[in-house]
């Protein structure tokens, strides 16, 4: 199979886990450490090459991607030593990329911004992965426009609605390129765990009375979300959990990010609370903590989304990809349960399902 050429918009923690993870699999091809699909419709993780990268930080612009991923304020784990990839981080347009809470921590590069669409075309990038901070709405729109201009597929890891927005979806469809999104759903993050516990309880006849899941984290994304994206993240996460079970529509449920605790670094602690009744109105209380590292938690999912988009490109399928988005994202163009997403993705891989 051919290689998959990707470009990165935003070289933060998520990009660091992705780039290190791909490199890990280039050196450990047969390993299957934390992957959902080792091979996805014939594509392996090692088939992915980073061919372009964009950021705005003076710590990252001008550096080889292999070095930029370790530049501050990135603070996720080092998975392996990296050799130069031969791809320098270029300056993208800033727009609203850096919010109030991050502006004292990130110095903007003085390099002039490059023509992103031209770089995408010249580098042969097939998929642009949008990993700018949440709440950077204008920056996300800008990268979606650049992808359209360069006829490059778009993977939107951020919560800004692109794949799930009808107008954007139409632009991608009309331009003949696929788009998947929005807002990556972590491999073992609070959304999938909250959904799974509530579904299990409901399936076993338990009546949910109330539930919440709130997080604290120490990465830039947690700090940034305090200012700009807490409300939208809460809406997406709560809807993602409620969409799992129709009978939960009227139950008080809250799911969302809460606060920033700097010494946690890239750790995220999630607190789940559920009050319910079972037979005889007997009460049950569930109180669980989940502790994860944020960026590696997105790796296996972004990897599947990249390979799913590549399959769509091979099959000349365009517009929003429902199966990939339902499986990999919190706000897909078409809502679905975990079980439906699994069926859809398998049907997509086998070719039975077009999008
Ligand atoms: N597990 C996860 O990490 C996870 C899960 C769900 C969603 N997401 C989403 O993925 C995105 C990335 O998360 P992260 O933790 O890597 O964030 P991060 O803050 O670590 O990285 C963001 C990067 O974008 C850069 N940036 C800012 N403005 C830019 C612009 N205009 N052009 C190019 N680069 C720009 C910043 O300098 C930084 O390097 C966020 O939107 C987040 O909500 C991540």
- CATH (domain of 202): 3.30.360.10
- Number of residues that this document lists for the chain: 355
Residue nearest ligand 1's atom 3 by CA: 295
Question: Are the beta carbons of 120 and 128 closer than 8 angstroms?
Answer: yes
The closest alpha carbon to 164, from 182, 187, 177, 139, belongs to: 182
pLDDT, residue 241, reads: 84
Please tell me whether residues 78 and 10 are part of one structural domain: yes
% of the chain surpassing 70 pLDDT: 99
List pLDDT tens digits, range 112-145. 999 999 999 999 999 999 999 988 999 999 999 9
The alpha-helical segments, DSSP class H, found in the chain are: 13-27, 65-68, 116-123, 137-150, 166-175, 190-203, 220-227, 230-242, 296-314, 322-328, 338-350
Are both 276 and 127 inside the same structural domain? no
* Ligand 1 pocket member 139 (CB < 6 A): yes
Over the chain, what is the mean pLDDT? 93
Q: Cα–Cα distance between 272 and 86 in angstroms, integer?
A: 44
Ligand 1 within 6 A of CB of 9: yes
Ligand 1 contacts CB of residue 157 (under 6 A): yes
For residue 329, the 8-state DSSP code is B
- Kindly tell me if the per-residue pLDDT of 152 is higher than 90: yes
Three-class DSSP category at 222: helix
* Residue found by looking up tokens 């998520």 in the block: 14
Say whether both 109 and 89 belong to one domain: yes
CA–centroid distance, 91 to ligand 1, in Å, is 15
Tokens of 233: 């993240």
Cα distance between residue 111 and residue 204, in whole Å? 59
Domain ends where: 263, 278, 293?
293
Task: Answer whether residue 50 is part of any domain.
Answer: yes
CA of 12 relative to ligand 1 center, distance in Å: 5
Q: What is the CATH number of the domain that holds 14?
A: 3.40.50.720
**Is there a single domain that holds both residue 81 and residue 143?**
yes
The pTM for the full model equals 0.94
Q: Does some domain include residue 85?
A: yes
* 123 and 254 share one domain: no
Give 223 or 59, the one with higher predicted confidence. 59
Six-digit token string for 33: 């450490």
Residue 41 and residue 154 share a domain: yes
Find where tokens 């992808």 sit.
147
Q: From ligand 1's centre to the CA of 245, what distance in Å?
A: 30
SS (H, E, C) 22-82: HHHHHHCCCCCCCCCCCCECCECHHHEEEEEEEECECCCCCCEHHHHCCCCCCCCCCCCCC
Whether 166 and 218 map to the same domain: the answer is: no
Could you identify the residue written with the tokens 């004292």?
A: 104
Mean pLDDT score, 302-306: 98
Dig out the tokens for 302 from the structure.
């972004």
Regarding whether 228 and 320 lie in a shared domain, the answer is no
Q: Do 224 and 173 lie in a common domain?
A: no
- The answer to the question of residue 160 being in a domain is yes
Domain annotation covers residue 355: no
pLDDT at 329: 95
Give the three-class secondary structure for 279: helix
From 271, 293, 315, the end of a domain falls on 293
- SS3 state at 262: helix
- The pLDDT tens digits of the residues spanning 222-274 come to 888 888 677 777 887 888 888 878 888 889 998 887 789 999 999 999 999 99
Residue ranges making up the domain that contains 207: 190-293
Distance CA 2, CA 124 (A): 13
- One domain for residues 105 and 11: yes
CA of 76 to the centre of ligand 1 (A): 12
Q: Are residues 213 and 274 in the same domain?
A: yes
Q: Looking at residues 311-335, what average pLDDT do you find?
A: 95
Kind and range of the H or E element at 216? strand 207-217
75 lines ligand 1 (CB under 6 A): no
pLDDT one-digit tens code per residue, 192-208:
899 999 999 999 999 99
Classify residue 239: in a domain, yes or no.
yes
63-119 residue pLDDT tens: 999 999 999 999 999 999 999 999 999 999 999 999 888 888 899 999 999 999 999
Q: How many domains does the chain have?
A: 2
- In short, whether 55's Cβ falls inside 6 Å of ligand 1 is yes
CA distance 27 to 327: 27
Is residue 104 located within the same domain as residue 14? yes
- CA 75 to centroid of ligand 1, rounded, Å: 12
């Amino acid at each position: 199979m051919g290689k998959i050429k990707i470009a990165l918009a935003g070289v933060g923690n998520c990009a660091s886990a992705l780039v290190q993870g791909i490199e890990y699999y280039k050196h450990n091809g047969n390993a299957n450490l934390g992957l959902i699909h080792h091979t996805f419709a014939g594509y392996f993780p090692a088939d992915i090459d980073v061919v372009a990268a964009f950021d705005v930080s003076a710590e990252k612009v001008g550096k080889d991607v292999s070095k930029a991923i370790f530049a501050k304020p990135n603070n996720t784990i080092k998975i392996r030593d990296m050799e130069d990839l031969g791809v320098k981080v270029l300056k993208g347009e800033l727009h609203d990329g850096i919010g109030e809470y991050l502006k004292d921590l990130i110095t903007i590069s003085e390099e002039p911004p490059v023509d992103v669409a031209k770089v995408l075309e010249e580098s042969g990038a097939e998929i642009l992965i949008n990993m700018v901070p949440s709440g950077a709405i204008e920056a996300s729109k800008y990268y979606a426009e650049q992808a359209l201009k360069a006829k490059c597929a778009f993977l939107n890891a951020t919560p800004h609605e692109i794949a799930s927005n009808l107008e954007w979806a139409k632009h991608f469809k009309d331009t003949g390129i696929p788009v998947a999104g929005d807002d990556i759903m972590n491999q073992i993050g609070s959304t999938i765990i909250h959904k799974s516990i509530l579904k299990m309880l409901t399936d076993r006849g338990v009546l949910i009375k109330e539930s919440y899941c709130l997080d604290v984290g120490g990465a830039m994304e947690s700090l940034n979300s305090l200012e700009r994206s807490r409300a939208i993240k809460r809406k997406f996460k709560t809807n993602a959990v409620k969409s799992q079970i129709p009978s939960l529509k009227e139950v008080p449920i809250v799911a969302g990010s809460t606060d920033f605790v700097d010494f946690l670094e890239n750790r995220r602690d999630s607190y789940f609370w559920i009050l319910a009744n079972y037979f005889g109105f007997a009460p049950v209380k569930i109180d669980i903590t989940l502790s994860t590292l944020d960026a590696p938690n997105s790796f296996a999912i972004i990897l599947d989304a990249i390979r799913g988009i590549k399959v769509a490109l091979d099959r000349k399928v365009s517009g929003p990809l429902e199966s990939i988005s339902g499986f990999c994202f919190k706000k897909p163009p078409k809502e679905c349960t975990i079980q439906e997403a699994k069926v859809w993705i398998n049907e997509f891989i086998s070719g039975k399902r077009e999008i």
